[in-house]
Amino acid sequence: IEHFECGGWIENANSLNIQHCRFRNNYADGMNLSYGSKNSVVEHCSFRNNGDDDMASWSRSTGLCENNVYQYCISENNWRASGLGFFGGKQNKAHHIVISDAMEAGFRITCDFRVCHLVTRDTVNFTISRYIKVVSPAEQWALEEICGEISRVHCI
């Protein structure tokens, strides 16, 4: 998927499986499992040069995202936001992810937008296989973004 506003903005999906896709040169997110999406998997996908989060899950108070997984994916050279972002939700996971040349945070777990809903007693699991340089040292927010409202984050 190339040269669209967003590669994929999926709402209220249940048990969706997205495999072996390429998301390139989009103006916004590469893939966002949003607003009530659950039990869905994005795997073996490549994201490059997208204009917002390459991979994201975006919850809101009326549509909690839960148990979504990003696995075995590569994020390269996104030029706004992060390589991987969980904005609210619960039991979302990411593992075997490579993030390279992110403009801002390589990965975020946050709820700094009024509409998103975060289950603060939840544990979020990340396994980042490789995190390769950030363009601007002043923009290395990854760990600061995590520390806000969440107390149990496992980065392996």
Query: What is the structure's pLDDT at 41?
Result: 98
Give pTM, 2 decimals: 0.81
Buried b (16+ CB within 10 A) or exposed e, 28-66: bbbbbbbbbbbebbbbebbbbbbbbbbbbbbbbeebbbb
Sign of CA dihedral 54, 59, 65, 66: positive
Pair 108, 131: CB distance under 8 Å:
no
Q: For residue 127, give the nearest of 78, 69, 88, 76 by alpha carbon.
A: 69
Q: State pLDDT tens for residues 76-122.
A: 998 888 899 888 888 888 888 888 888 777 788 776 666 555 555 55
Domain spans in the chain, listed from the N-terminal domain onward: 9-155
Concatenated DSSP letters for 52-95? S-SEEEE-BTTB--BS-EEEEEEEE---SS-SEEEESBBS-EEE
Q: What is the CA radius of gyration of the chain?
A: 14
